[in-house]
Structure 1
Amino acid sequence: MIELKKGSIADIPLLWALRTRAVRRVCASHYSPEQIDVWSASPPPESYLRLLATGCAVIAEEDGQWLGYGILDRQSGEVVALFVEPGLIGKGIGRRLMHALEAIAAEERFTRLHLYASLNAADFYRAMGFVAIRDEPYEHPSGITLRSLYMERALPAHSVH
């Protein structure tokens, strides 16, 4: 049975390894090999320390195996990360993680969530109710620019206190 747990600073290396596998296998369908090489080789951003210290990371696991994770910035309402183990995409793990991030957003009284979607993830986010506002270059911390979609979603009124 899939369980959701809070992530901690100590989890960053494993989270980043999962993210790197996802970038290499899933994002390669929409980005050049050169972009994937630089993107997947980059280290975790310093912001992960702050984000995980605030209890805003959710990890999906089953029988001790990590299936995916999501991170919400409690200060801005931005979905900073949502990655699922590549071989498990399409099994509802991303949806469960997004619902958990929405619950955190409701605790913070956000009325909207926003994110920068990689092109391969845009359909998932649309299915979760996000709307593409603009096609926008994303300045990745590694120094490359990735084409992305800036997307937003209103939270249901009942989730806001």
Structure 2
Amino acid sequence: MFEIRRATPSDAQTAFDIRAQAIRHQCIGAYTTEQMLAWTAGSAKDGYNDLMANHFYLGCIQGEPVATGMLDLEKSEVGAIFVLPGFMQRGIGKRILDHLEGLARDCGLAVVNLDATLNAAHFYRRCGYVGVEPAIYHSPSGLVLACVPMEKRLL
């Protein structure tokens, strides 16, 4: 059984590990090995744990976390959608995204935006997001990555 639950501070390392595994599996070819290793270096204590205070969610199967997703209400931004490699291609990412969009609607957001990784832009387009122009994402850790800024009208 699949369920989505709000993450707690104690989930930070699990969420960080899901993110690292998803990036290292799914971003091959879209980014260099060096970029992926730098992107996934460290641990949740390096700042990722701060995200748990936001609307951060875990997708769980049989109670075990297999996916993550976050909604930043201040920025009207959806992010951190990652699925463990063994659970990809099962619609889990879409279910997380739908959940976050529902929360955004409930909070009165008319539009949400995101910075899609190069390998995920097609997924987001299939989910109704618009955006094709590449840009550069500057992470809080100083990493610079190509991305595709996208948005979706909710209301």
RMSD of aligned alpha carbons: 1.6
Q: Following the alignment from structure 1 to structure 2, what is the Cα–Cα distance between the partners of residues 105 and 42?
A: 30
**2:13 alignment partner in structure 1:** 13
Q: Indicate if the aligned counterparts of 2:114 and 2:150 stay in contact, CA closer than 8 A.
A: yes
1:149 match: 148
SS at match of 2:136: strand
One-letter code aligned to 2:47:
E
- Cα distance, 1:48 vs structure 2: 4.9
Letter in 2 for 1:5: R
The gaps in structure 1 that reach 5 residues or longer are: none
User: What does 1:72-91 correspond to in 2, within 5 Å?
Assistant: 72-91=71-90
Match of 1:3? 3
Structure-1-length-normalised TM-score: 0.88
Deviates more, 1:39-48 or 1:100-109: 39-48
User: Is it true that 1:41 corresponds to 2:21 in the alignment?
Assistant: no
Q: Work out whether residues 19 and 83 of structure 1, in 8 Å CA contact, stay in contact via their aligned partners in 2.
A: yes
In 2: Cα distance, 1:134 partner to 1:13 partner:
33
Residue identity over aligned pairs, in percent, reads 33
Whether the aligned pair in 2 keeps the contact of 1:42 and 1:142 (CA below 8 Å) is: no
1:51-66 aligned at under 5 Å gives the runs: 51-54=51-54, 56-66=55-65
Aligned-partner residue type, residue 65 of structure 2: W
| Contact 2:59/2:66 (8 A) holds in 1 | yes
Q: Cα distance, 1:10 vs. partner? A: 1.7
What amino acid is aligned across from residue 9 of structure 1 in structure 2? P
Q: Are 1:58 and 1:100, in contact at CA under 8 Å, matched by a contact in 2?
A: no
Deviation at 1:134, TM superposition (A): 2.6
| Paired position in structure 2 for 1:136 | 135
Give distance in 2, aligned partners of 1:126 and 1:48: 29
Moved more, 93-102 or 40-49: 40-49
Q: Deviations over 1:47-74 (max 9, x none)?
A: 752x4324x1121111122120100102
- Tell me the SS of whatever aligns to 1:29: coil
Q: 2:104 is matched with which residue?
A: 105
Listed as ranges, the gaps of 5+ residues in structure 2 are none
Deviations 1:72-127 (A, max 9, x none): 10212101210011122110101110111011101220000100010011111111
* Structure with the higher helix share, 1 or 2: 1
Alignment of 1:68 with 2:67, yes or no, is: yes
